[in-house]
């Protein structure tokens, strides 16, 4: 009796593996606005950085027209005293500074850990083909590490924007003179 049930059991196992395989399934691939690669490190807050941002000019948002910016994801190396997520329009007259504020939310009470933080926008932003700035404002002790960054292998001068306490916008590369990084800040786009 045992040997006659072996072929049936073998067919059952093969059927289960075939049914549960993922080979031909359509995997969900999220569209994102980002320059960064995997988190590598973060600069210390010795310079007094307050707002870290990535700028996405109109040419980079164009392919997402008609969709929405739904989430912002960013990497924290230390838990800040305060954390605010911001989205700005691009500035049509001066690309070195953001335009009007489109979205702002204080996440201070929600940020309890380091690592990747994902925020779902309470009001998703329509992507119209105009440029966007994705930003995270933090308040940290001097010497703490701030927003994470990659190794700069795919460095983009729009990926390391920051605002210092004086209110001036610059880039990490301009301050350091030679370091090329992209902040770990990403915008997740709605499905088509």
pLDDT digit string (tens) for 137-159?
999 887 888 899 999 999 999 99
The structural domains of the chain, with segments of one domain joined by +, span 33-189
Query: How far is CA 119 from each of CA 28, 45, 75, 130, 185, rounded to the nearest angstrom?
Result: 19, 23, 11, 22, 11
pLDDT at 140: 85
pLDDT digit string (tens) for 90-103?
998 999 999 999 99
Cα–Cα dist 19/13, whole Å: 10
* Spatial CA neighbour of 180 closest among 33, 32, 36, 34: 36
Q: Is the pLDDT reported for residue 113 higher than 80?
A: yes
Fold category of 33-189 in CATH: Jelly Rolls (2.60.120)
Is the CB of residue 158 less than 8 Å from the CB of residue 56?
yes
pLDDT digit string (tens) for 25-68?
344 457 999 999 999 998 876 656 689 999 999 999 999 999 99
* Spatial CA neighbour of 75 closest among 185, 187, 189, 155: 185
| DSSP three-state, residue 11 | helix
């Amino acid at each position: 009796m045992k040997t006659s049930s072996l072929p049936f059991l073998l067919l059952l196992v093969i059927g289960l593996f075939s049914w549960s395989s993922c080979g031909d399934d359509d995997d969900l691939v999220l569209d994102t606005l980002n320059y960064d690669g995997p988190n590598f490190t973060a600069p210390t807050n010795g310079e007094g950085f307050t707002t870290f941002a990535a700028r996405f000019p109109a040419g980079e948002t164009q392919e997402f027209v008609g969709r929405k910016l739904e989430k912002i994801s960013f990497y924290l190396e230390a838990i800040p005293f305060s954390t605010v997520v911001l989205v700005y329009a691009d500035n049509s007259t001066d690309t070195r500074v953001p335009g009007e504020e489109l979205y702002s939310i204080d996440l201070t009470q929600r940020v309890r850990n380091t690592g990747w933080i994902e925020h779902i926008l309470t009001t998703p932003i329509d992507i119209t083909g105009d440029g966007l700035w994705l930003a995270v404002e933090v308040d940290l002790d001097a010497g703490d590490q701030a927003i994470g960054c990659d190794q700069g292998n795919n460095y983009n001068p729009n990926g390391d924007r920051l605002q210092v306490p004086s209110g001036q916008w610059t880039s990490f590369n301009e301050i350091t003179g030679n370091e090329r990084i992209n902040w770990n800040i990403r915008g997740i786009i709605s499905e088509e």
